[in-house]
Amino acid sequence: MNIGFVGLGIMGGSMAMNIRNGGHDMVVHDLRQEAATPLLEAGAQWADTPQQVAESSEVVFTSLPGPVEVEAVALGESGLLAGMSAGQAYFDLSTNSPTVVRRINQAFADKGVDMLDAPVSGGPAGARSGRLAIWVGGDRDVFERHLPALQAFSDKPFYVGPIGCGSVAKLVHNCTGYIVQTALAEVFTMGVKAGVEPLALWQAVRQGAQGRRGTFEGLAEHLLPGNFDPPDFALRLAHKDVDLAVAVGREYAVPMRLANLALQELTEAMVRGWADRDSRVAMLLQEERAGVEVRAPEDRLREILGE
């Protein structure tokens, strides 16, 4: 397959090299031609513009810093759209805005070109090793038709839904990570300032319920199926625990912004009369504010989890 690749930075360069090592013919472009040197030495061809990449490829990938750069490469002068024709496909691997993705998709669709958003997760090490998740939004048939190209640099390509859905999934994933990072900084500073040695604290908590399961696994137990009765851990007990943690923070003069926010949520849920329901029932408050239910069929959840 003739594959084009634009954006040969830390992530893009490694992904492109894995594609090339998979035996595909390649044409590449980057703002810095020296970034393409390893690929050119491996037999890839250089193009002076994204348009030339598109003119020489069956499918094109971009890996760029953000929405501004993607839009310029896709729609700008001498951009991809100028060189693409009906029947070709374009996958954007960047972390992008779903709104921008949908706008670009419309411009490509008007020309009969398939555009899919396909952000990746796995970091530089995953880009080098091929241990990458790819979350794809767009036409499912196009996704399946190009699986061999995706599998050349990813062990977990996954179809999420229509155009833009891949980008939304990536933003949910990354935003979760940084919220958790902020929370961990908060509670660990509290724990250490209250007298626990950092390594001992880390070793202790990673053996608990939160340490033993993935961040998203717990959603399958209560929120996604909508099961909050009978409780695994009652709301009133969770409220007590967070209240105690906040009290320790006050005692040792540790700011506990997120813990206080969590306590406020749990308190409001208690006022609703949910004290003896499962503690995750407090998540219904955010559903109410957002005006959406987060639900999935329980049998599908069990199937995915291998139960």
Residues marked active site are found at 170
121 SS3 class: strand
**DSSP letter string over 8-53?**
-SHHHHHHHHHHHHTT-EEEEE-SSGGGGHHHHHTT-EE-SSHHHH
Question: Across-strand partners of 117?
Answer: 92, 137
DSSP calls for 222-260: TTTTT--SS-SSBHHHHHHHHHHHHHHHHHTT---HHHH
Residue 183 to residue 175: CA distance in whole angstroms: 12
Please check whether residue 282 is in contact with residue 265, taking contact to mean a CB–CB distance below 8 angstroms.
yes
Residue 2 DSSP one-character state? E
Identify the three-state secondary structure at position 295: coil
Phi-psi region of 121 (alpha: psi -120 to 50; beta: other; left: phi over 0): beta
Separation between Cα atoms, residue 193 and residue 248, nearest integer Å: 10
Contact criterion met (CB below 8 Å) for 211 and 202: no
